[in-house]
Each structure stands twice: as C-alpha cells, then as structure tokens.
Amino acid sequence: MQKSVTVVDRIPPSTPSVNSISYKSKYISGRAEANSTVSAYVGSKKIGSTKADKYGKYQMKISPIKKGTSIKVIAIDKAGNKSGGKTVKVR
C-alpha cells in the first residue's frame, strides 16, 4: 500500500546579503536563497525586484538613490516564505 505525503515548506529563507551601495550605484547585488525572489524597498515603496540564480547570486537594476537613504532587501522563496530584511544605507 502506497501513501502520498505532501511536505509544506514553512521555513523562511535566510536574510539576503547585500553588497555596499553608493549614490552612484545602478545595481543592488548580493546573495540570497537560490531561485528566490529578491526585492528592495525604500520605506514601503518597492524600488526593484529580481530572481536569484541557482547559486543564490542576484543583481537588480535601480535608479541612483540619495546618499544616506536606507534600503531594505528581502527574499521570498517559491513557497511564499519571506526572509528577514537586510537594511543598508546608501553611501
């Protein structure tokens, strides 16, 4: 007798890493869970989103942002689990 079991992924991805961002930057890059969707926010406004590759690397295009602005980056996996946010200040 065979039984089918469905495993539900409820584990959020780890907080993404973010490389430093300057006011001249045109991209935000770093590492996140492989194949997760990575989004960046200034306050509650989404400024960019991209998908991490199979190695977890991501790079999203952004418009230049004013020095001193805080950017929060989060990752969401295929199951919809949201990571903690990594906040970086624009230098």
Distance, in Å, from the CA atom of 38 to the CA atom of 31, rounded to the nearest integer, reads 9
Q: pLDDT tens digits for the chain (91 residues)?
A: 788 888 778 899 999 999 999 999 999 999 999 999 999 999 999 999 999 999 999 999 999 999 999 999 999 999 999 999 999 999 9
At residue 4, the pLDDT reads: 84
Asked whether the beta carbons of 59 and 29 are under 8 A apart, the reply is yes
CA angle 34, 38, 44 (to 5 degrees): 160
CA distances from 9 to 13, 18, 21, 79 (A): 10, 25, 32, 6
Domains plus CATH for the chain? 17-89 (2.60.40.10)
